[in-house]
């Protein structure tokens, strides 16, 4: 990882990237994958489980993960006591263009492990990260570098599917993610989709979802990402994700993930010392 302060970087029209740092083994359950992502493990071991499968990725190995699914993740520490990884995501237009040009390639439905990465793959991955993180690099070159990574995935056996029409639940998650600190009401969300509150609740129920659960999970999952990929204080993360007090945030976070927010950054054993 870079020596600069860790952060999540988004470059419009290109993609996004971040590092992950974790100092004790914890299990993250039912994480919703909002966008296709490529993860390169630098230290430790990543275990990922989905409905019908499980993979274990070691340092130097990569994992392409499809969007629109719920997964469980365990990050295990390296001997030095830390798990580190980098992730890369693409602007949807790049994925759509690649899929249109390569319709015969197999589609990644869940996860595509990339074990034999090799030096060329890793170098291409680093160039793609730089393309996202360096605003001075021309956008055309940046997009070319991220498109190159899609070609690498193709050589390893798969491509991402372009975004399909989103469910209402996914649309609500995306809306909330744009302003996590806002005090969202059912009326606010319904108005955003030009429907009544009753219609909103009914359509979400048809998908097996409810607004309060979506709101809570979106905020807490976003907070988890910030804890893993930035150096922001827990108090700042709590406020930016819509919680008025750190104690309220900590209680809701523990209820969702079964460990405290500070456990992610704290050195420790496989169990949260607070348990």
Which of 155, 189, 214 is the C-terminal boundary of a domain?
155
Q: In this structure, are 149 and 16 located in the same domain?
A: yes
Residue 163 is assigned to a structural domain of this protein? no
Q: Which of 26-30, 87-91, 92-96, 160-164 has the lowest mean pLDDT?
A: 160-164
Residue 160 is assigned to a structural domain of this protein? no
Q: In this structure, are 13 and 59 located in the same domain?
A: yes
Residue 54 is assigned to a structural domain of this protein? yes
Minimal CA–CA distance to 173: which of 219, 139, 136?
Answer: 219
Residue 235 is assigned to a structural domain of this protein? yes
- The CATH number for 125's domain is 2.60.120.810
Helix (H) or strand (E) holding 230: none
Burial zone of 187 (CB within 10 Å; 0-12 exposed, 13-18 middle, 19+ buried): exposed
In eight-state DSSP terms, residue 159 is: B
Mean pLDDT to the nearest integer, 30-48? 95
pLDDT at 267 over 90: no
The tokens for 7 are: 């952060």
Per-residue confidence at 5, pLDDT binned at 50, 70, 90? low
The tokens for 156 are: 């390893």
Q: In this structure, are 195 and 129 located in the same domain?
A: no
Which of 155, 188, 205 is the C-terminal boundary of a domain?
155
Q: In this structure, are 104 and 24 located in the same domain?
A: yes
Residues 77, 24: contact at Cβ < 8 Å? yes
Residues 7, 230: contact at Cβ < 8 Å? yes
pLDDT at 274 over 80: no
pLDDT at 231 over 60: yes
Q: In this structure, are 147 and 172 located in the same domain?
A: no
The Cα–Cα gap between 196 and 68 comes to 26
Q: In this structure, are 244 and 130 located in the same domain?
A: no
Its sign, for the CA torsion 102, 105, 110, 116, is negative
Q: In this structure, are 96 and 137 located in the same domain?
A: yes
In eight-state DSSP terms, residue 262 is: G
Q: In this structure, are 176 and 52 located in the same domain?
A: no
Residues 17, 87: contact at Cβ < 8 Å? yes
Minimal CA–CA distance to 172: which of 134, 210, 143, 144?
Answer: 210
Q: In this structure, are 136 and 213 located in the same domain?
A: no
The tokens for 235 are: 């108090």
The Cα–Cα gap between 146 and 128 comes to 5
SS3 breakdown of the chain: % helix, strand, coil, rounded to 5? 40, 25, 35
**Which residue range forms the structural domain that includes residue 77?**
9-155
Mean pLDDT to the nearest integer, 187-194? 95
The tokens for 167 are: 């469910």
Residue 272 is assigned to a structural domain of this protein? no
Express each pLDDT in 208-228 by its tens digit: 999 999 999 999 999 999 999
Domain count along the chain: 2
The tokens for 105 are: 């390639």
Q: In this structure, are 98 and 45 located in the same domain?
A: yes
Q: In this structure, are 151 and 177 located in the same domain?
A: no
Residue 2 is assigned to a structural domain of this protein? no
Q: In this structure, are 17 and 151 located in the same domain?
A: yes
Its sign, for the CA torsion 90, 96, 100, 106, is positive
In angstroms, the Cα distances linking 32 to 159, 174, 220 are 20, 12, 11
Minimal CA–CA distance to 47: which of 72, 18, 22?
Answer: 72
Express each pLDDT in 118-152 by its tens digit: 789 999 999 999 999 999 999 999 999 999 999 99
Residues 30, 70: contact at Cβ < 8 Å? yes
Per-residue confidence at 268, pLDDT binned at 50, 70, 90? low
Express each pLDDT in 92-108 by its tens digit: 999 999 999 999 999 99
Residue 269 is assigned to a structural domain of this protein? no
Residue 185 is assigned to a structural domain of this protein? yes
């Amino acid at each position: 990882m870079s020596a600069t302060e860790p952060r999540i970087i988004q470059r419009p029209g290109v993609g996004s990237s971040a590092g992950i740092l974790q100092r004790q083994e914890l299990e993250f359950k039912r994480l919703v994958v909002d966008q296709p992502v490529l993860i390169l493990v630098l230290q430790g071991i990543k275990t990922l489980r989905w409905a019908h499968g499980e993979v274990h990725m070691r340092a130097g190995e990569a994992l392409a993960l499809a969007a629109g699914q719920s997964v469980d993740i365990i990050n295990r520490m390296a001997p030095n006591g830390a798990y580190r990884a980098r992730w890369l995501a693409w602007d949807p237009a790049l994925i759509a263009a690649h899929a249109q040009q390569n319709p015969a390639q197999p589609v990644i439905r869940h996860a595509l492990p990339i074990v034999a990465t090799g030096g060329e793959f890793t170098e291409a991955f680093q160039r793609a990260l730089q393309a996202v993180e360096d605003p001075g690099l021309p956008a055309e070159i940046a997009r070319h570098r991220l498109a190159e990574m899609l070609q690498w995935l193709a050589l390893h056996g798969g491509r991402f599917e372009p975004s399909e029409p989103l469910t209402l639940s996914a649309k609500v998650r995306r809306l909330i993610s744009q302003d996590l600190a806002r005090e969202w009401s059912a009326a606010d969300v319904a108005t955003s989709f030009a429907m009544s509150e009753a219609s909103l609740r009914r359509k979400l129920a048809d998908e097996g979802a409810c607004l309060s659960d979506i709101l809570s999970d979106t905020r807490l999952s976003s907070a988890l990402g910030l804890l893993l990929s930035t150096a922001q204080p827990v108090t700042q993360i709590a406020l930016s994700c819509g919680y008025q007090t750190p104690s309220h945030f900590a209680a809701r976070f523990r209820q969702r993930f079964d460990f405290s927010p500070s456990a992610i950054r704290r050195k420790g054993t496989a169990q949260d010392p607070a348990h």
